[in-house]
Amino acid sequence: MWFLVDTELDDYIASPASFAAIIADRRRVHAALSERIPPFFLAGQAPPLDEWERRDAILDSVDEGEVLTGLPGCLGVARGRARVVTDPADPRGLEPGDVLIAPITDPSWTPLFVPAEAVVVDVGAVMSHAVIVSRELGIPCAVSVTDATRKIPDGAIIEVDGSTGTVTVISLP
């Protein structure tokens, strides 16, 4: 049923077997899309699927002293241990003084901001959830630090400058 559109449901109920090829093709497309990262920004037509980055692509690792740049979120500078969290239900040992590194945030992430010294997100803008909560709590925040969750290793010591949107890798684990 999840691979059908609403206008197909009555026909599917009448003859499920007639939709076998359609459903198989849609499952194939779904699987192919699941292996790729959608483009962050589109201007005009979306690039062909084979040009989208693979989710399992290995990125160059960061070096000590490397600076990742995003957008300013909330003013201030903080230093702490990076905790890469990709699911708010599994904070993976986030402790007071750590820097929360997340793909994007929504209200379900809010409790994780409380112990964080700073917040860094892969995707965000000046009015995004991460920025609003960071400002309310008075902790530095950098947003749109592309691939931060994939580049910054969990446990690295980093410095977040929320005024410039930069994240500096101080030392690696």
Which positions ≥6 away from 113 have C-beta within 8 Å?
Answer: 100, 119, 133, 134, 137, 139
CA distance 101 to 36: 21
Contact 64, 169 (CB under 8 A): yes
Longest dimension (CA), the chain: 64
Catalytic residue status for 30: no
Q: CA separation (Å) from 77 to 68, 97, 165, 170?
A: 14, 13, 10, 13
Residue in 129, 131, 141, 144 annotated catalytic: 129
Which positions ≥6 away from 35 have C-beta within 8 Å?
Answer: 54, 55, 56
Closest CA relative to residue 150, chosen from 61, 40, 38, 54 = 61
Kind of pairing between the strands at 118-121 and 141-143: parallel
> What residues act catalytically?
129
